[in-house]
């Protein structure tokens, strides 16, 4: 919560502002946090479930793009190297589209939808919300998705933060002002 007097960030359970000492009238009435936050392990299992769902689809589509590369080659019987090169070229394009665009759309569309969660999070009863518990916009879901690059770029420490922060937020949640909570 933020202090109405000085604007300093404080714990949701704080009775006084840590910066200016202003008493919070609502803190006495609130004995528990507003939300039940999804912790690190629940979020990790949701990520694994999403991986089990997304990976077979991606592999099937990549195999299809490789076969498509073989079909595009003018003479597959005479030029085996050319066939392999065509398959590799089309597969690289497929990887970029499927893993890049597909992964991005899966997370941003699912988390900004009325379900507010990916299939893995839905299986565990978790939803992604803004700090007030509302559905996030597509733009905020984009910010959260690209914030995951930062979380992963620093040796996945950004993901591990979900196990240690007060609201169980990973770095990308903090950057996008989002929460992962239980329904």
pLDDT in the model for residue 27: 42
Show the beta-strand stretches assigned E in 11-134. Answer: 126-130
- State both tokens at 88: 């590799």
pLDDT in the model for residue 165: 95
Return the closest-CA partner of residue 48 out of 125, 136, 118: 118
Residue whose pair of structure tokens reads 């200016």 in the numeric block: 20
Residue whose pair of structure tokens reads 């922060």 in the numeric block: 165
18-27, 46-55, 117-126: range with highest mean pLDDT: 117-126
Q: Where are the domains of the chain?
A: 1-32, 40-182
What is the tens place of the pLDDT at every residue in 14-49?
Answer: 888 888 888 887 544 444 568 999 999 999 999 999
Return the closest-CA partner of residue 109 out of 139, 147, 134: 139
Q: How far apart are CA 19 and CA 173, in angstroms?
A: 24
Q: How far apart are CA 34 and CA 30, in angstroms?
A: 8
pLDDT in the model for residue 73: 64
What is the tens place of the pLDDT at every residue in 66-93?
Answer: 677 667 666 666 777 777 777 788 778 8
Q: How far apart are CA 24 and CA 2, in angstroms?
A: 10
Q: How far apart are CA 35 and CA 5, in angstroms?
A: 25
Gap between the terminal Cα atoms of the chain: 21
DSSP string, 122-171: HHTTEEEEETTSPPPPHHHHHHHHHHHHHHHHTTTHHHHGGGTSTT---H
- Is the model's pLDDT at 129 over the cut of 60? yes
Return the closest-CA partner of residue 120 out of 44, 61, 178: 44
């Amino acid at each position: 919560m933020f202090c109405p007097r000085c604007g300093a960030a404080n714990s949701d359970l704080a009775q006084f502002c840590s910066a200016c000492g202003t008493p919070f009238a609502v803190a006495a009435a609130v004995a528990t946090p507003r939300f039940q936050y999804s912790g690190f392990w629940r979020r990790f299992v949701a990520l694994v479930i999403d991986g089990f769902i997304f990976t077979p689809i991606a592999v099937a589509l990549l195999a299809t793009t490789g076969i498509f590369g073989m079909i595009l080659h003018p003479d597959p019987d005479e030029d085996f190297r050319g066939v392999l090169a065509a398959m590799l070229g089309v597969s690289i394009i497929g990887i970029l589209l499927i893993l890049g665009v597909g992964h991005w759309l899966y997370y941003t569309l699912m988390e900004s939808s009325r379900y507010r969660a990916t299939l893995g999070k839905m299986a565990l009863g978790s939803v992604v919300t803004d700090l007030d518990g509302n559905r996030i916009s597509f733009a905020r879901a984009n910010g959260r998705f690209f914030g995951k690059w930062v979380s992963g770029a620093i040796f996945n420490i950004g993901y591990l933060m979900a196990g240690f922060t007060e609201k169980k937020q990973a770095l990308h949640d903090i950057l996008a002002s989002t929460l992962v909570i239980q329904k």
